[in-house]
Structure formats: C-alpha cells, structure tokens
C-alpha cells in the first residue's frame, strides 16, 4: 500500500501547486471573513476565477483534449481538488456542469452540441443546472411528469416543474429529463433535453431551506418551445442518458465528505478549544465513534481512487459513503451544539449552518433508504421488493396507484 504519488503524479502536483501559489491572490473570497456579500457580484467573481482555472488547465481535467479538457485520469482530478483545497481558494463555479453534465454531453451529445456548449461550460461563461428531480419524483426518478410534446415541425413544447435545482438562478442552460411518451412503461418514454434558461416560459424561484438560505430553486416550464437540436441522446432513450449523469454524480461524490468539510480534525479543533469538553468521557465517547466513521470514509475514498486508477468504475457500494458521512456529520453537529450550548445557533456560527444543512443532505443525491435498497439488491444480491409499475404504461400508473391505495384502505 502506498499513498504517495507516482513520479508523474508528483510532477503534476508540483505544477498545479506552483500555479496556485502564483495566482491564489486573484481568487475571490466567497466564505467567512471578508466574503463578497452581494450574490450577483460573488457569482461574477467566481465565474472569473473559473475562467482563470480553465485557462491554466485546472478544470475538466478528465475531459478529452478535443473539447478543451486535459485528457488525464481521475487521480489527476483528485490532485487538483486537493491542491485547490490546500491553497484555501474556491473551486470552480460550475462543478455540476463540468463534473456531471458536460461528461453526459460528451458521452451522448452530437458533435454540434459538443462544439457549441462544452468550451463555454468549461470556462464558466455559461453555467449549467441539472433539471432531473421533481416534487413528485426523486428516488423514483423515472416517475417524472414534466412533459415534452413533439410538434409537427420537429420541435417540442415543454410543460412541468423541477425542484432542488442548484445554480438555476444564474444558469444559462439546464439538462432536463422529460417524458416524451406516456403510453409506454415509465423508463422507456423519457428524453433528455438542453433547455436555455432564458427561454420564454421558464420561471426560476428560490427555495429557502432550514438554513434560511436559498441554495436550491424550483423551476417552472410553461409551454417552453425547444428546438429539435436540443435533444441529447436518443428520443425516448433518456433513461440511459440520465444513468450516465448519475454515474458521474457518484464519481463526484465518491471522493467522500472530506471535500465538504466533514473532517474529524475540524470537529476535533472545535472540541479541543473547550477544556471541560476534552475531559468529559461522554464527549470523548461520542466523538471517538463519529471520528472513527469519518476516518473510515477517508480510507474508503483511497480504495475507491485505487479502483478508479485501475480503470474500474465505482459500484453502488460507493453510495454507502454518503450514509456514513451524513450520519457522522449529524452526530458531530449535535455533539458540538451540546458542548457550546445555545450559542452554537448564533446566526453567523459555522455550526448553526452545518446543523441546519445536514437534514436536507440526507436526501440529496439519493435518500438513505433508496441507497440501501440499491446496495442490498445490486451488491448483496437480495431480491427486490414487488413493484406495481413494472411493464405498465406510465399513463395508466396513476390509476393503478389509486387502486392499490384504495385496496389497502
């Protein structure tokens, strides 16, 4: 076992580090003391920073070179992430686009789409958002109801609503999953579209969360006209396209919660500043247990990276890391609030934010329950639960559901 870089990786790391050393004074301050307060200003400063990172070859590290990427492996991407975090500067503005949506377009898009969208995405000139989840379809993503109807001229008209959409308030485009054929079973009637966020009929509304901030949005579509060249991948083959995005999502999250700041050493510092807490056996026990989980996550991350380096794609078991990190972070927030007392909920306190943010994170990127189902079935080989929707046209599903609800009532 060896956690060291290979000579080539060490050379790459040194190159990245020296660029960041030289340019980190140009990075905007987005969090903590001296942070830019105005949201629009902050976005523009962040966008400019992404452009600089892109010009230095530090975005889209794993993208093919013909689309402006570096054509390197996932480990080089990790090296860039580590060095950015070490330098204490923000990463890119559009991590969702560059990490998940761009790779989907690279895998399924037409050559024209790639030429039109990818470079502007990479440089942050056009930010993207992911329009998958809906109020009534999250875990059961294939149950989405947003409807795109084909027109005689080959274009489409879109109606429906999406939710939990990060960055929609300043995004130029969204990658959207819509139902295009309701008369076939639900996985078979979906299509992926590119939606210009400034199109007529698109409305973005901020969605405030427990934290008080609006990090997500709701997006509404009223008779939005979509040109034929906005379809990504095959018509009615959108489920396969979406699976690609979800695979990249897993890969993005695969690195674990350390990048999100849920680290044992950070929580240790908070507790160590209170001498009475350090001596309290109950505090030590609770901290020892949650810290064990966070450490396990870091080293599971190294196992996943090893697999990636060997060209393997992380399986659904990588999703278990999310369960571990969220629960350990919840336990940490709870413990720190117990130690600090009511003052932990001061408005500008980092723990106030952490404690409020985590309950929602539990459902983000797959609820704990759906993750456990997937791992139980795909990794342990346990049989699936009987389901009502197999082989049934989407349009008949609501009636079936009502029938079932009536039967059990």
Q: Which residues bind another protein (CB under 8 A)?
A: 1-6, 9, 75, 264-265, 268-269, 271-272, 278-279, 281, 283-285, 287-289, 291-293, 295-297, 299-300, 302-303, 305-307, 309, 317, 320, 323-324, 369, 372-373, 375-377, 379-386
Give the burial string for 58-95 (b: 16+ CB within 10 Å, else e): bbbbbbeeebbbbebbbbbbbbbbbbbeebebbbbbbe
Task: Give the Cβ contact number of residue 353 at 10 Å.
Answer: 16
Other CB atoms within 10 Å distance of the CB of residue 365: 16
Contact 271, 335 (CB under 8 A): yes
Which residue number, 40 or 303, has a Cβ lying nearer to another protein? Answer: 303
Q: Closest CB to another protein among 79 and 171?
A: 79
Please identify, using beta-carbon distances, which residue of 216 and 262 lies nearer to another protein. Answer: 262
Q: Please, which residue, 210 or 404, has the CB nearer to another protein?
A: 404
| Residue 301 C-beta: closest distance to another protein, Å | 8
What is the CB neighbour count within 10 angstroms for residue 12?
20
- With a CB cutoff of 8 Å and minimum separation 6, the contacts of 182 are 147, 189, 393, 394, 395
- Residue 218 catalytic? no
Nearer to another protein, 109 or 314 (CB): 314
* Nearest residue to 170 (alpha-carbon basis) of 102, 123, 223, 217: 217
Residue 76 CB, shortest distance to another protein, in Å, is 11
In whole angstroms, the minimum distance from the beta carbon of 198 to another protein comes to 43
**Tokens 């990245």 appear where?**
16
What's the min distance (Å) between Cβ of 388 and another protein?
14
Q: Report the candidate in 87, 93, 7, 85 with the shortest Cα–Cα distance to residue 263.
A: 85
Shortest distance in whole angstroms from residue 306 CB to another protein: 5
The catalytically annotated residue of 33, 249, 258, 368 is: 249
With tokens 């990249």, the residue in question is 248
Which positions are annotated as active-site residues?
249
């Amino acid at each position: 076992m060896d956690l060291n870089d290979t000579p080539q990786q060490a050379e790459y790391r040194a190159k990245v580090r020296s660029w960041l050393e030289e340019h980190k004074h140009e990075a905007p301050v987005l969090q903590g003391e001296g942070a830019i307060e105005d949201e629009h200003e902050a976005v523009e400063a962040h966008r400019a920073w992404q452009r600089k990172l892109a010009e230095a070859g530090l975005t889209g590290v794993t993208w093919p070179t013909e689309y402006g990427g570096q054509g390197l492996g996932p480990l080089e991407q990790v090296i860039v992430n580590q060095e950015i975090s070490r330098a204490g500067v923000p990463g890119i503005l559009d991590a969702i686009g560059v990490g998940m949506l761009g790779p989907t377009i690279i895998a399924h898009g037409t050559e024209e789409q790639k030429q039109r969208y990818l470079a502007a995405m990479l440089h942050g000139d056009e930010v993207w958002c992911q329009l998958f989840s809906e109020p009534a379809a999250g875990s059961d993503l294939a149950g989405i109801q947003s409807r795109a109807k084909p027109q005689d001229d080959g274009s489409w008209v879109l109606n429906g609503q999406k939710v939990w959409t990060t960055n929609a308030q300043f995004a130029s485009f969204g990658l959207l999953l819509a139902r295009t054929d309701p008369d076939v079973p639900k996985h078979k009637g979906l299509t992926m579209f590119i939606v210009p966020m400034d199109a007529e009929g698109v409305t973005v509304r901020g969605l405030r969360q427990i934290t008080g901030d609006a990090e997500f949005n709701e997006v509404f579509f009223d008779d939005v006209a979509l040109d034929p060249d906005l379809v990504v991948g095959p018509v009615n083959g959108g489920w396969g396209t979406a699976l690609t995005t979800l695979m990249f999502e897993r890969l993005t999250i695969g690195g674990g919660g350390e990048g999100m700041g849920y680290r044992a050493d950070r929580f240790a510092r908070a507790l160590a500043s209170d001498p009475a807490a350090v001596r309290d056996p109950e505090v030590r026990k609770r901290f020892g247990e949650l810290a064990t989980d966070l450490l396990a996550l870091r080293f599971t991350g190294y196992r996943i990276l090893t697999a990636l380096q060997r060209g393997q794609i992380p399986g659904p078991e990588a999703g278990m890391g999310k369960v571990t990190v969220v629960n350990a972070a919840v336990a940490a927030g709870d413990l720190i609030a117990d130690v600090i007392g009511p003052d932990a909920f001061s408005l500008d306190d980092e723990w106030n934010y952490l404690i409020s943010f985590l309950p929602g994170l539990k459902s983000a990127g797959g609820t704990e329950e759906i993750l456990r189902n997937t791992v139980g079935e795909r990794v342990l080989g346990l049989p699936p639960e009987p389901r009502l929707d197999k082989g049934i046209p989407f349009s008949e599903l609501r009636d079936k559901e009502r029938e079932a609800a009536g039967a059990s009532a």
